[in-house]
Amino acid sequence: MHVAKMIDHSLLRPELTTADIHRGCDIAARRAVASVCVRPSDAGLARTALAGTGVLVGSVAGFPHGDTLTAVKAAETRALVDAGADEIDMVLHIGRLRDGDAAYVRDDIAAVVAAAQGRTVKVILENAYLADEQKVAACRLAEEAGAHFVKTSTGFAPGGATLADIQLMRASVSPHIEIKAAGGVRTLDTLLTLHEAGATRFGATATEAILDELAARERGERPTQAPAATSGGY
């Protein structure tokens, strides 16, 4: 199991400076993670910083509330593609989903999928605001709209990834649709437990702590203390 290649190193907090983004990209490159997930304005910077490293550049559309106009989400996605983004994590319209407006939610996602021009699209459900039947509906609508992943959370809501949600999401989509866990994934044990339940990608700010813990275990050392929680953006 290549744990590093399941991690999207998150660089989404609003207070991050350009220097912070450069440091985050350096961590991502040194640790050979799957991707960085950066704010839209940082996509071009990350593309340059990570050139030749094999680390993908991800960014976000309609983040973090999901309530921007569909046309704006699509335009944002096209701009991210132009800036060199490989993956798009979009937030569905949470309120319309809670309304039961399936057509709106499906079309909103489909517009981003079309604008992504074949690039990977991950649909953030923001499960903290949803009942189980709404989570199931969101998963099915994301698949119908052509998305590649369904994702638990932005990291900015009251709750993040849970084992129950990963199990429910895995049962609600076809095998080719992947699951991303985000929000509260701060330890190796959490990552491994959610992976066993079906998650294949993880949004994390505690990337180095997780991978240091993995290396320590592989050396046969005793587990270290879990890192302190960080607020916002996974």
Q: Which of 73, 122, 135, 180 is catalytic?
A: 180
Which residue among 42, 89, 108, 165 is the active-site one? 89
Q: 14: which 2 tokens? A: 């609003």
Q: Given 3.90.105.10, 3.20.20.70, 3.10.180.10, 1.10.760.10, which CATH number is that of 3-218?
A: 3.20.20.70
The predicted pLDDT at position 124 comes to 98
Active site residue 67: no
* Catalytic residue check, 180: yes
Question: Per the residue annotation, which of 73, 122, 135, 151 is the catalytic one?
Answer: 151
Read off the pLDDT of residues 82-115 as tens digits, 9 standing for 90 and up: 999 999 999 999 999 999 999 999 999 999 999 9
* Pairing of the two strands 35-38 and 178-182: unpaired
The answer to whether the pTM exceeds 0.85 is yes
Among this protein's residues, is 151 annotated catalytic? Answer: yes
Dihedral angle of Cα 101, 73, 87, 214, to the nearest 10 degrees: -70
pLDDT tens across 22-56, in order? 999 999 999 999 999 999 999 999 999 999 999 99
Residue 221: per-residue pLDDT:
82
Which alpha helices (DSSP H) does the chain contain, by range?
18-31, 43-49, 70-83, 94-99, 102-115, 132-144, 163-172, 188-197, 207-218
pLDDT in tens, 167-181: 999 999 999 999 999
- How far apart, in whole angstroms, are the C-alpha atoms of residue 145 and residue 115? 12
Provide the token pair at 1: 């199991």
Contacts of residues 19-23 at CB distance under 8 Å and 24 or more positions apart, as own/partner, are 21/45, 21/46, 21/49, 22/49
